[in-house]
Structure 1
């Protein structure tokens, strides 16, 4: 029997999200079950639908929190970084993926319907790129404009590719090591090339 009157709507939302984050970290997106989340908190699956509207909305909210935690990781790394802040960014990118592989993968495994992402969630998800673009702009002594934003996203894609190969074991299977250092080297090369074009 569900505890239908035990919590307010906001308390329920937090309860569901916390249980959902824990489950996602344990089993990943492919094995995620809203029914299991409901079971863990002692409510029915209908309660999750009442609070979030759909499972897609729930997963979107869980992944948005993962984006926030990831951005926090970048900010913590930058707060203690020496002069090499680009290295601190790459290190933090890899560290979050290594420490939270299923949460990290779920961000990319889930394809939310565009209408399910709220404006606030877009802002939370965009915080990571905002941090990266700001550091890239500082390194290049350029303003953050459309061109630099595109370049920053390209650098993130480069780091992401190396990170993904490292997390899945594909990098090691190719006889390669130190994916993080190689990714950083590619970023440095790209930054040097970008400076040369300016």
Structure 2
């Protein structure tokens, strides 16, 4: 079933997902550093390729990812066509590559044999990425107000740019407790 998304739903997905999963408070990012690093390094690599992939497009990409996850959990295929652009699609893909087994075949392979078929297991798996996406959105909003539309990317380039490789390989993280004893 494909469901058209209205602007209201697109703009409100962050609030809905924060109510469902909670969020990372400022100062508590350290516990989520691996997931955040993968997401942010992918975003930075994509921004380096094309400066049109700015803060505004990144917030849109986060909303696309949150709606994608919501669609998985509710077994709904959302029609996001009205909100897609070349820039936000590339950013959304980079974010999804950092955690989503339905987008990244390497993650799917690492999770082979784990039970992501049940709604409960899937919800538990996506809790960490959702919280990280919501934290990134807040950070982007903060740095956009402080430094303009590319302020977030200036900030992360200054903060971690030297640790992010100058390649196009998308980084990812998989929770060890889900992978179990399987070697990666």
In the superposition, the TM-score normalised over structure 2's length comes to: 0.30
Q: Which has the higher helix share?
A: 1
In the superposition, the TM-score normalised over structure 1's length comes to: 0.29
